[in-house]
Structures are given as structure tokens and as C-alpha cells.
Amino acid sequence: MNTLLIILLVVLCGLVVYSLVRGVIAFMKSTKIDLETGEGQDATDMQLMQNKMMFNRIKYQALAVLVVAVLLMISN
């Protein structure tokens, strides 16, 4: 059981990093578009992607904390 939870924790941590990187990249692209065009209208797709990735990061972090809590409960 512990092995399964640890593997799940590693996968969730990987998803957190992936979502964070994708969100930061979307943020950089939206900033670049804003600077080049001078308008914020062209960047709405990138801003939506950024929001989606950051929300995913929060979900994966919450699940990772839950797995850690379960591991702590099991180990006692």
C-alpha cells in the first residue's frame, strides 16, 4: 500500500511541475503578445491557458497533500 501511495505521490508531484511550467510559459507568451501588439485582446487564449494550468496545479497539490496525509496515517 505504501509503495502505491508513494508512486501516486511522485506522479502528482510531476503533474504539479508540468502544470506550473505550462502556466508560466502561457504567462510569458501572453506578456510577449501584449508587448508586441499593445493590446490585451489578442492574449485572451493564453491567459485562459494560464488560468487553467494554475488551477490544475492547485488541484494536483491538494491531491498530493492528501496522499501525504494518508501515508502519515498509515505509518502510525
Tens digits of residue pLDDT in 12-32: 999 999 999 999 998 888 878
| Structural domains counted in the chain | 1
Task: Show the domain range for 62.
Answer: 2-75
What pTM did the predictor assign?
A: 0.79
Q: For residue 39, what pLDDT band results from cuts at 50, 70 and 90? A: low
Category of 38 on φ-ψ map: left (φ > 0), alpha (ψ -120 to 50) or beta: left
The mean pLDDT value for 40-61 works out to 83
Ordered alpha helix ranges (H), 1-43: 2-37
